[in-house]
Structure 1
Amino acid sequence: MSAGEHERAQDRPLRLIWLQSGGCGGCTMSLLGQQGPDLVAALRAARVEVLWHPSLSEATGAEARAILNAAASGEEPVDIFCLEGSVIHGPNGTGGFHIMAGTGRPMREMIEGIARHATHVVAVGSCAAFGGITMGGGNAVEAGGLAYDGTVPGGLLGEGFRARGGLPVINIAGCPIHPGWFVDTLMQIAGGTMAGADLDEWERPLAYTASLVHHGCARNEFYEFKASAEDLGDLGCMMENLGCKGTQARADCNTRAWNGSGSCLTGGYPCIACTAPGFEEPGHAFAVTPKISGIPIGLPTDMPKAWFVALASLSKAATPRRLKENAARPIPAVLPRDRRKRER
């Protein structure tokens, strides 16, 4: 964007268009639950005008198509273009599985047209970023992301794509995203502070991927002593037996509560690393930990296998009775106790 364009852009609200493609709409459902501030207040604070969103806008039919066509041609300036859901290329590369209503043309043409003219392009959710769940099961619909197909660079827009503002596609990956991840990104863009250094190796915002899901997990005491859950609903650490990837997954799910109260782990289900490309095809059931000679395949990030084995053995030997007995139970049988209080 030139200096003149930047000055003109500052005189008006930032214009945002949001399209949904191959997906379930779960990221929009999550976003609508944004709290502190709510979504409408956040948009106002960022001075964002929603030109069109399938759930928030009144315009439908010809009126909506006119807005989108103007954006795709460059006639209507778009500052932030958000795509939710994967790009559908099937069957046989034609894009015919997903036709833009009322046009007879593949949806991917509209997506690409708007992306090529937008100042910032944001992939909302792992489907838009990498293909996500829509790619699973053999990918019969030929789904892909905006700039990646799984872990392979390229996607719809190509490996070297840069939006008019100079940044690559900003991948707010997650299935679904935490609404706060989107609001943080929106505020950075609106404030003019979003830069390449604010994105990780998959172009995900560091505002949420600088942490591991493991950080802040309520089960960390069980993890430290390798006191493991055996079934879903048990209190213990779910890494050893139930497929939890919290020690590898990049997100702040346990330090930024969902709906003000919890996360997948506090809800009793293992982390499946939904912010990572390829999470949808782990090669095993989500709630199972593959092992070789009794050692989990998915070890904590950056930890050598020999160290893990040695530390795990020491930890298990030192596990307090309270943790041993509670780990494989849905409610605690032994409670923490202050030793200074004498038994009667």
Structure 2
Amino acid sequence: MKDRERAGRRIRMTNLLWLQAGSCGGCTMSVLDHGARGWVRELQNFGIDLLWHPSLSEESGEEAIAILGDVAAGRTPLDFLCIEGSILRGPNGTGLYNRLAGTGRTMLSWVRELAPLADYCIAVGTCAAYGGVHAAQPDPAEASGLQYEGSISGGVLGPDFRARSGLPVINVAGCAPHPGWIMETLAALQMGDFDESDLDRLGRPKFFAKTLAHHGCERNEYYEFKASAEKLSDLGCLMEHLGCKATQAVGDCNQRSWNGGGSCTHGGFSCVACTSPGFEQTEDFLKTPKVGGIPVGLPLDMPKAWFVALAALSKSATPERVRQNATSDRVVRDPRRAGGHDE
């Protein structure tokens, strides 16, 4: 394949094959909005050729089957294999619940054949990474991630799987992932700036998994004073009563805008920790489980004992302005009216 000179570096032209398994298509919808000129142009800019995508490519029927056949036979090199959606192994491990139309084969079979041929295997979204929504109990479809089943290493490819580059499956988790997480992972791999040390213990790229969704949240003043919202329209912190898991969920969601602006908490909705395995098992996404009045899931960035002690101190020191605003749908006490000082 031809190489391309870019910014003084030689970029090898590569192929990307994208398959959709048990998926709602949300990951594709997310990544399509990446880049000023769109995701496909962004791929081209980095020297990545979109070999085939079931929702975006013109090829269908026999043409699409021929592309897959050429890859499987080794006639077309496979650099990036992106899988969107969980792998449905049912019934009874046969994978027959999810067949690739026209091929007479299951998606389970295709993934197990193609993954070892790829230089890099990328699970796009939490479904492909850990099983996701489809794996919620009861799970009649026997859904699984590529190399994890929930938080347990294994999945459909097994714990010892390595792509031709030597890397395990790269889990760009999220439901759906931020478009930047997907494209920046591909770009880093293409530029040779990514190795196994750049993955966390659950196979997620550290560039977005080394921080928490809580970091950068515009509700953090309320969080610091433990001034909590009581209903979704309130301005206060959503953690204590309304199920928000931003202090436990990895992701830079509040440090970069989604599709031009916003995040879950910015939009007034609780973070459901969609980048984490097992998030789908939550009984009530809008209710914080508690034991003895203390939330069960406590922040990851401080010891639990500290949090409990500091929470009591913070509540006792909450300014009246913050207390009143926390349970209102708008700012009712503006600090500017008091010269920047609380009354």
Identify whether the pair has TM-score above 0.5, normalized to the shorter chain.
yes
- The answer to whether structure 1 residue 324 and structure 2 residue 326 are counterparts is no
Q: Distance in 1 between matches of 2:286 and 2:339?
A: 41
Structure 2 counterpart of 1:124: 124
Whether the 8 Å contact between 1:73 and 1:114 is mirrored in structure 2 is: no
Judged with a 3 Å threshold, the aligned counterparts in structure 2 of structure 1 residues 19 and 39 are, in CA distance, closer, same or farther, namely same
Structure 1 counterpart of 2:7: none
Q: How does 1:160-175 map to 2 (within 5 A)?
A: 160-175=160-175
What is the Cα deviation at residue 105 of structure 1?
1.6
Structure 1 counterpart of 2:157: 157
What is the Cα deviation at residue 73 of structure 1?
3.0
What letter matches 2:333 in structure 1? V
Q: Deviations over 1:71-112 (max 9, x none)?
A: 123232100000000111001111111111112221111112
What is the Cα deviation at residue 338 of structure 1?
5.7
Q: Provide the secondary structure at the position in 1 that maps to 2:226.
A: coil
- The answer to whether structure 1 residue 286 and structure 2 residue 274 are counterparts is no
What letter matches 2:286 in structure 1? A
Q: Deviations over 1:309-330 (max 9, x none)?
A: 2101110111111111111111
Whether the 8 Å contact between 1:291 and 1:297 is mirrored in structure 2 is: yes
Q: How does 1:84-103 map to 2 (within 5 A)?
A: 84-103=84-103
- The answer to whether structure 1 residue 29 and structure 2 residue 34 are counterparts is no
Judged with a 3 Å threshold, the aligned counterparts in structure 2 of structure 1 residues 77 and 341 are, in CA distance, closer, same or farther, namely closer
What is the Cα deviation at residue 340 of structure 1?
4.2
Q: Deviations over 1:149-183 (max 9, x none)?
A: 11111111110011001110000000001000011
Q: Distance in 2 between matches of 1:46 and 1:70?
A: 24
Whether the 8 Å contact between 2:35 and 2:42 is mirrored in structure 1 is: no
What letter matches 2:113 in structure 1? G
Q: Distance in 1 between matches of 2:140 and 2:63?
A: 33
Structure 2 counterpart of 1:43: 43
Whether the 8 Å contact between 2:20 and 2:83 is mirrored in structure 1 is: yes
Structure 2 counterpart of 1:304: 303
Segment drifting more, 67-76 vs 119-128: 67-76
Q: Deviations over 1:236-258 (max 9, x none)?
A: 00000011111111000000110
What letter matches 1:142 in structure 2? E
Structure 1 counterpart of 2:6: none
Segment drifting more, 38-47 vs 20-29: 38-47
Q: TM-score, normalised on structure 1? A: 0.93
Segment drifting more, 46-55 vs 31-40: 31-40
Judged with a 3 Å threshold, the aligned counterparts in structure 2 of structure 1 residues 288 and 34 are, in CA distance, closer, same or farther, namely same
What letter matches 1:130 in structure 2? Y
Whether the 8 Å contact between 1:16 and 1:78 is mirrored in structure 2 is: yes
Q: Distance in 1 between matches of 2:331 and 2:19?
A: 46
Whether the 8 Å contact between 1:16 and 1:82 is mirrored in structure 2 is: yes
Q: Distance in 2 between matches of 1:11 and 1:175?
A: 31
What is the Cα deviation at residue 42 of structure 1?
1.6
Q: Distance in 2 between matches of 1:129 and 1:73?
A: 26
What letter matches 1:200 in structure 2? D
Q: Distance in 1 between matches of 2:340 and 2:293?
A: 41
Q: Distance in 2 between matches of 1:272 and 1:145?
A: 19
Q: Provide the secondary structure at the position in 2 that maps to 1:322.
A: helix
Q: Provide the secondary structure at the position in 1 that maps to 2:123.
A: strand
Whether the 8 Å contact between 2:80 and 2:122 is mirrored in structure 1 is: yes
Structure 1 counterpart of 2:177: 177
Whether the 8 Å contact between 2:130 and 2:277 is mirrored in structure 1 is: yes
Structure 2 counterpart of 1:17: 17
Judged with a 3 Å threshold, the aligned counterparts in structure 2 of structure 1 residues 233 and 340 are, in CA distance, closer, same or farther, namely closer
Q: Distance in 2 between matches of 1:244 and 1:268?
A: 10
Structure 2 counterpart of 1:3: none
Q: Provide the secondary structure at the position in 2 that maps to 1:277.
A: coil
Structure 2 counterpart of 1:235: 235
Q: Distance in 1 between matches of 2:261 and 2:233?
A: 18
What is the Cα deviation at residue 12 of structure 1?
5.1
Count of residue pairs the alignment pairs up: 334
Whether the 8 Å contact between 2:216 and 2:254 is mirrored in structure 1 is: yes
Judged with a 3 Å threshold, the aligned counterparts in structure 2 of structure 1 residues 160 and 335 are, in CA distance, closer, same or farther, namely same
Q: How does 1:184-223 map to 2 (within 5 A)?
A: 184-223=184-223
Q: TM-score, normalised on structure 2? A: 0.94
Q: Provide the secondary structure at the position in 2 that maps to 1:119.
A: strand
Structure 1 unaligned residues grouped into runs of 5+: 1-5
C-alpha root-mean-square deviation of aligned residues, in Å? Answer: 1.8
Whether the 8 Å contact between 2:247 and 2:301 is mirrored in structure 1 is: no
Q: Provide the secondary structure at the position in 1 that maps to 2:279.
A: coil
What letter matches 1:38 in structure 2? G
Segment drifting more, 228-237 vs 301-310: 301-310
Q: Distance in 2 between matches of 1:185 and 1:158?
A: 22
Q: Distance in 2 between matches of 1:52 and 1:145?
A: 22
- The answer to whether structure 1 residue 55 and structure 2 residue 64 are counterparts is no
What is the Cα deviation at residue 126 of structure 1?
0.3
What is the Cα deviation at residue 138 of structure 1?
1.1
Q: Distance in 1 between matches of 2:329 and 2:142?
A: 42
